[in-house]
Structure 1
Amino acid sequence: MTKCPCVRFGAVVLVALDSQGHGRMMRISRKAWLGGLLACVSAGGMAQVPVDELASSEQPVDGNGIVDMNVVVVSGSQPGPGLWRVRRGENTLYILGTQSPLPKAMTWRSDEVREVLAEAGVVLGPPGVVIGRDIGVFRGLTMLPAAMRAARNPDGATLDELLPGDVYERWSMLKARYIGRDRGIERKRPAIAVYELYRAALDANGLREGGVVSPVLDEALKARGMKLTSTTLEVKIDDPRAALADFRKEGMKPEDVACVRDTLDVIERGLPQVAARANAWAVGDLDVLRATAGQGSQVQACMSSFLQTETARKRGLDALDAQVRANWLAVADDALDAHRVSFATLSVNDLLGTSGFLAALRPRVDAVLAPDEADVVEDEGAATSGVATP
């Protein structure tokens, strides 16, 4: 059997200066730098590295055939991507594009968002769906059921019994590196187990899910005595307990193996690209975000595995995307009609894609402006001469 090499991600630490001359520690990837994957330059730029060092393609290999590949993660105070603006008449819905994961050591400069939140008549929560009382909430259809009783494999089966040999070998190597000795995880469903491994790999490489945007929103809302306006679609099923019982009985599917393979691929070889997108959000580089739109979808697809089960299909829960979108659009419509200023958060992918929430909202409004698009107002003279006056 040919062993697939596994990639170990370390870090090269450099010091960069911001516009005030303050030093920041930055973890710089030679390979990611050379490939143009990262926009890890802040307002003041980054310390220079000799070209011959950056051009080196050799990577240290340890005795297990594991290659060191450094991940770049920015740190310090970062501006984020700015706000999208949706106009209808005199009213504006400001939308912050969210991204996960993000650099663990960054601090978000959220002044623009705080100013909008101070004026907003309503703040919309993220789209999602809640299915019954016992099933749990799916944010953007990417989270697993909250009921962890369903997390274990039927009949106490372990991953070495369920996964193909080559897949389990890769899993074991990465588990030893990022999680260590944890026998309990071997009895969890493959999608859940590999997601825990993915999160451990993110943490080890200076990335995290959550903890950047939510605290700012919570603080601002609390200061104003406001609450999020839910955009979550509520779907009731008659037998939530029976649904969980059916789900717990469901065994392995080809989709489960594909989920594990794809996520292991990301952990082994794709973390530089994951870090690139995280850094692009942090420094507000929309060009990189646009170029990498859709990255990470394989991990998100794994996390919605419950919706692809026979349990979900029998109850009509396997095609909720359109309903979730329609529900969000209805709430956004109300916000635009009723408030001069409103605020929402959506995944960056939903803002940049041609089939996401923003694309569906565009025909209903007067204008949609990305953070790097200026407001343009035409006066009579400008209209006559064909010149727009900002």
Structure 2
Amino acid sequence: MPTVLLCLLLVFSLGASAQVADGAASAAPAAPAEPAEQPEQPEQPAAADDGIVDMEALVVSGIQPGPGLWKVSRDGRVLWILGTVAPLPRRMQWMSDEVEGIVAASQEVLDPPSMAMRSGLGTFRSLLLVPSLLKARRNPDGLSLEESVPAEIYARWVPLKARYLGRNRGVERWRPLFAAQELYEAAIRRSGMTLDGVVAPVVERAAKRHRVPRTPVQLAIVVDDPKDAIREFNEGPLADTDCFERTLARIETDLDAMRERANAWALGDIAALRAAPYDEQYVVCIRAITETGLARRLGMENFRRQLGDLWLEAAEAALARNASTFASLPVSTLVREDGLLARLQARGYAVEEP
């Protein structure tokens, strides 16, 4: 998963869309590497007596069924929803026949809710802004990471960085949020998991093969002057210490829980998915950007609620016109007491778990 804020900045200029649901975010394309920032390739970290234990063997592999689907229905019309999680086991092959069959038999596929930031710039002019986007990772005041966060938090960063990022010196000049996400992605890889999407490519191929129309559910944010927006972000502060600390805590204590949740998804264990913790750092990290003056002016401070409302509207419309519709949403959204399924149920729809 590309770094959250870098993705948000990229869409200012490149017209990409960031999928944001229940505190997690992803976008494409990722920014190119910045050679000057990383003069040395990170070494492959060796085992160390730092109290961190890798338990990659606990992650399942091979062909796995994945979870069943939630069923939302009324008046003989059905919306099938596949719950998704991230990360997932890296060496897993998803046995997706059931989902492909439901997509083929449906009249519509609802894409996951996403936020699309757009500007009037063309592709060539947008690419000219990439160097400015890359600078957004750096602390605007020239401080190092060690100087940007409290000493006790930085002391926790040091052994984690040594284990998962090796001798990557460039990251020490990044803002805490960007540095934390770089570390998180490396820790996920070392733990036998992946943040790459598994469900979306399968659904897209099935919909294309069977000519099932896909309906985007997008909250459009228009950036009139992306160059000024990027400059404002580059020069402004970020309240991202909490994001940095929360990400370190997840790596220190929650890798086992993430493995268990990934295994539960792969094995189709809905009870385990419901019981799994979903205390993700993304809620805090995204808040660091949405509470800036720039984000408030763009109307982003309550975008998660807006995305939920848009998805509910699209789901009800699809249920009204189709005999069968397929959608996918994060499991955490589905099992929460105030999640989207609960809101559909409150509107009179029947909801059945897998």
> What are the ranges of 5 or more consecutive residues in structure 2 without an aligned counterpart?
1-46, 122-131
> What are the ranges of 5 or more consecutive residues in structure 1 without an aligned counterpart?
1-61, 136-145, 372-390
Cα separation, 1, equivalents of 2:136 and 2:213: 31
Determine whether 1:127 maps to 2:110. Answer: no
The alignment partner of 1:66 has SS state of: coil
The alignment partner of 1:235 has SS state of: strand
From the CA coordinates, give the structure whose radius of gyration is larger.
1
What is the aligned partner in structure 1 of residue 140 from structure 2?
A: 154
Contact map agreement 2:238 2:289 (CA 8 A) in 1: no
User: Which residue of the other structure, out of 210, 234, 241, is the alignment partner of 2:227?
Assistant: 241
The alignment partner of 1:229 has SS state of: strand
What CA RMSD, in Å, does the superposition of the two structures yield over aligned residues?
Answer: 2.3
Give the letter aligned to residue 112 of structure 1. Answer: E
Contact map agreement 2:116 2:221 (CA 8 A) in 1: yes
Aligned structure 1 segments of 4 or more residues deviating by more than 6 angstroms? none
Q: How many residues of Structure 1 are paired with residues of Structure 2 in the alignment?
A: 297
Cα separation, 1, equivalents of 2:84 and 2:336: 14
Cα separation, 2, equivalents of 1:321 and 1:222: 29
After TM superposition, the structure 1 = structure 2 runs for residues 81-230 of structure 1, keeping only pairs within 5 Å, are: 81-133=67-119, 147-230=133-216
Give the letter aligned to residue 170 of structure 1. Answer: R
Determine whether 1:292 maps to 2:258. Answer: no
What do residues 221-255 of structure 1 show as CA deviations (whole Å, max 9, x unaligned)? Answer: 221244531011112244443332222222242xx
The alignment partner of 2:300 has SS state of: coil
Contact map agreement 1:307 1:318 (CA 8 A) in 2: yes
Contact map agreement 2:312 2:344 (CA 8 A) in 1: yes
1:283/1:300 Cα in 2 relative to 1: closer, same or farther (>3 Å)? farther
Task: Give the C-alpha shift of residue 304 in structure 1.
Answer: 4.6
Contact map agreement 2:107 2:213 (CA 8 A) in 1: no
Give the letter aligned to residue 312 of structure 1. Answer: A
Cα separation, 1, equivalents of 2:48 and 2:100: 51
What is the aligned partner in structure 1 of residue 44 from structure 2?
A: none
Q: What is the TM-score with the length of structure 1 in the denominator?
A: 0.71
The alignment partner of 1:127 has SS state of: strand
Cα separation, 2, equivalents of 1:197 and 1:269: 14
Task: Give the C-alpha shift of residue 148 in structure 1.
Answer: 4.3
What is the aligned partner in structure 1 of residue 36 from structure 2?
A: none
Identity of aligned residues (%): 41
Task: Give the C-alpha shift of residue 303 in structure 1.
Answer: 4.0
Determine whether 1:337 maps to 2:337. Answer: no
Task: Give the C-alpha shift of residue 118 in structure 1.
Answer: 0.7
Task: Give the C-alpha shift of residue 97 in structure 1.
Answer: 0.4
Contact map agreement 1:124 1:228 (CA 8 A) in 2: yes
What is the aligned partner in structure 2 of residue 34 from structure 1?
A: none
Q: Which moved more, 1:187-196 or 1:357-366?
A: 357-366
What do residues 101-155 of structure 1 show as CA deviations (whole Å, max 9, x unaligned)? Answer: 01111111111101101111111111122234399xxxxxxxxxx9544222214
Task: Give the C-alpha shift of residue 64 in structure 1.
Answer: 4.0
